[in-house]
Chains A and B, each alone.
Chain A
């Protein structure tokens, strides 16, 4: 079912992009315009989407139905992954505001706690790692590689 939904959504997006690519300008110097190559690719993608939907619909009709709570159970089983993803998303959005050093410090410590650092010894190690790979890495990049990582309100 996931394949059918995924490919159905992608096909709709690709058809929209295909139409949009038709409006890109062409030049008098070349027979192909800016939109020709993307349209070629998008056309083939829609074709593949349709083929996969047909293939998967056949499988879906033959397969036995999943238990009622299967989807909820899958999400619960993957709760750690969703937690890490959420924290990573927060990190990405926090970097421009708080700066790299502070946002990565918090991310590194909280993620390690989420993934199992609970006792005082592992919390201490988590703290050291968080400082080394946030403040420490920032210094290395600034001083050695001459790359300044994003700065924010707290810098």
Chain B
């Protein structure tokens, strides 16, 4: 074992590998900061560049893009209120309000440190618990997956805002959006009306950019006086004190560790990932907080939960891949592809036959996390420069970047029309005080939920299996408890507001 660790370290700590990892980290941060440019896209674009590299250097470079991407999404989430990637949706809930009230430096620093801690904790868990955790994850059948999705949907109740009814409706709207296009089992086109526009469905990325970015940018130019005076997105003096913020983060150790562990677990479940983890962690942090009413107004707890949770999925996703050869997400599948290009078979024998490679990957994760920390802390003042740019400049520029983001993944012109339509719909929803996060949550979870429900009933028509299989039952009971808890705290909060008002 020691020999393999040293062999891995020898390859990782070489100048070319460290250099390409550094470039990968920077590319990941920048790519994820552009709304609509996902981490998956950044990894796909990196893959051809790694063909000429030795296997470990190639994978380490891609891991650096991966880890950098999780932190990069924070930049636009905090400064523009637009999640750079689906993994940073929950970051916008508190980082943006904090930046808006004049503390953008604090919001970013909290996010950076939380991301670093999340990635580091997930690497430690990855090293210790890869085989046993992966074994649990692959034991889940379609019944457990469906119950997991039902449980995840109960988060809607927590992010619903003032009206539970509107939150539930928004969540259902997300589920409906996900049903447009080919059905996940038979491929039958649904609600496409034989049009080219809808034949591929409503791509999740276009929904995310339209709902969050376009509607948010339109809201920014509502006040004529503010815009004409050249007001920036965020006003006030920018202060950036990373060490003071580190102490602040360490004041929430339970939140930090719990969110990181949830991130690892969600990441280890194939099909889940950062996009779900950030919302689940946020939900748990809110429930566990002594001041849940502060969530959504710019509390550090919310940023810590979301950012440590989404960064921790990077390590979690590698667990089933390394132990069993099952990719936890699209990104892990691309990482697997890069190993296979080099003739390395991925499966349970990977850790036996190529132990140096596996230990090298563990080290690459930790090094990438440190690189992200150093790069972000040293160049954050550059990012903060964005806050001084007037709205008259930032709004049209980001709208053009949104257009590119919607087009770049599938290169379909129809997606641009969908972006416009969904953007207008999102704006109407936000003006009528419907929460937007449940729409995105529904759109993410809908296809996974539907295909697992149908797969379960295809395997066995007996509905009671959802309640008789132990893990499935536990998840459903947790879902019921979660709703009951949310409804109780919702009414309690309303009661407190009424009596104080």
Contact = CB atoms under 8 A, between A and B. Distances in A.
Interface of A: 2-3, 6, 14, 17, 20-21, 24-25, 27, 29-32, 34-35, 37-38, 41-42, 44-45, 48-49, 51-52, 55, 77-81, 84-85, 88-89, 91-92, 95-96, 100, 104, 107-108, 111-112, 115-117, 125-126, 129, 133-134, 137, 141, 145-147, 149-150
Nearest to A32: B454
Contacts of A2: 432
Contacts of A17: 191
Given A37-B450, A84-B218, A107-B400, 6 more contacts: A6-B428, A32-B453, A52-B169, A92-B420, A115-B227, A149-B407
16 contacts: A2-B432, A20-B191, A32-B454, A34-B190, A79-B224, A80-B227, A81-B222, A92-B403, A92-B417, A95-B403, A107-B399, A115-B221, A115-B392, A116-B390, A137-B400, A147-B411
Contacts, number: 155
Interface stretch (B55-63, B93-101, B130-138, B178-186): B178-186
A138 to B, nearest CB: 9
Interface on chain A toward B: helix, strand, loop, or mixed SS?
A: helix
Interface string B432-458: 100000000000001000100110011
B172 interface: yes
Interface on chain B toward A: helix, strand, loop, or mixed SS?
A: helix
Given A80-B222, A107-B400, A115-B227, A92 B419 contact: yes
Nearest to A113: B392
Q: What 10 A-B pairs are tightest by C-beta distance, nearest first? A: A115-B392, A111-B396, A48-B169, A30-B458, A34-B188, A38-B179, A34-B183, A37-B450, A116-B392, A41-B175
Contacts of B391: 115
A34 B186 contact: yes
Contacts of B407: 149-150
A44 B432 CA distance: 20
Contacts of B224: 77, 79-80
B374 interface: no
B299 to A, nearest CB: 29
B188 A24 contact: yes
Contacts of B454: 30, 32, 37
Contacts of B397: 108, 129, 133
B176 A45 contact: yes
Contacts of A78: 222
A37 B172 CA distance: 12
Contacts of A34: 183, 185-186, 188, 190
B395 interface: yes
Contacts of B417: 92
Interface in B377-425: 390-393, 395-397, 399-401, 403-404, 407-408, 411, 413, 416-417, 419-420, 423-424
